[in-house]
Amino acid sequence: MKFKYLLLLISLFLSNGILAQSHFLKNLKSGKHQTIVVYGTSLSANPLGWPAMLEKEIDRRYPSLIKVENMAAGAMWSTWGVKNLDKRVLSKNPDLVLIEFAINDAFLSYKTSPKVCRLNLEYMIDRILEQNPNCDVVVQIMNMPTGIHFHEHRPDFENYNDVYRKVAKKRKLLLIDHTTYWKPILEKGLPEYLKLVPDGIHPEELAWRTLVTPYILKCLKIK
């Protein structure tokens, strides 16, 4: 009986993705070329930013097996993401998609409610998995806005982050929550945070290299 109970627990863990290895990582380890699509806002769009660093680091571990397509764009939000999904994501036939739009869905001028944020996110996930059920969809929550970017433009940004958390939990998707390490830095005081995020919303090169990229690699279990 104890053995059967243990097998049941293992089965449940695997079905929840707790012990299961991603299709993406399995394919890398078996020598199959993989395509990552990065989809989101200006927090991802910089051509010299963390997506390029991520590609370099994965290529160092799995030479010639990885391509990162950075399809993010500055000042965009999830409604734009839905409208451009075919051209910027599905056409790339991705094996892994990293999505983040919560920070700009929270932007007051875009008038995107948390409900619409969720509908858009789930629609994009559904379309990606409809095309390729084995594609690994990863939901990202980026760094916190401060100053005018928070108080005047995104006062409810945490509600939008919670949408991403709930969708990831419901859909059993990997959630990469960058606030995990950004919050302790901000708690040390705004000056400490601004050393890495000078304008109050966009991290700079040191942060991409020492914080953002290593954390994504850790969450993807790429050693």
Euclidean distance between the first and final Cα of the chain, in Å? 37
Which residues form the domain of 172? Answer: 20-219
Q: Is 130 helix (H, G, I), strand (E, B) or coil?
A: helix
Report whether 207 contacts 197 (CB < 8 A). Answer: yes
pLDDT reported for residue 4: 47
**In total, how many domains does the chain have?**
1
In a domain, 5, yes or no: no
| Region class of 107: left (phi > 0), else alpha (psi between -120 and 50), else beta | beta
In a domain, 153, yes or no: yes
In a domain, 47, yes or no: yes
In tens digits, the chain (223 residues) has pLDDT values of 454 444 444 443 433 443 356 999 999 999 999 999 999 999 999 999 999 999 999 999 999 999 999 999 999 999 999 999 999 999 999 999 999 999 999 999 999 999 999 999 999 999 999 999 999 999 999 999 999 999 999 999 999 999 999 999 999 999 999 999 999 999 999 999 999 999 999 999 999 999 999 999 999 999 9
What CATH number is attached to the domain comprising 122?
A: 3.40.50.1110
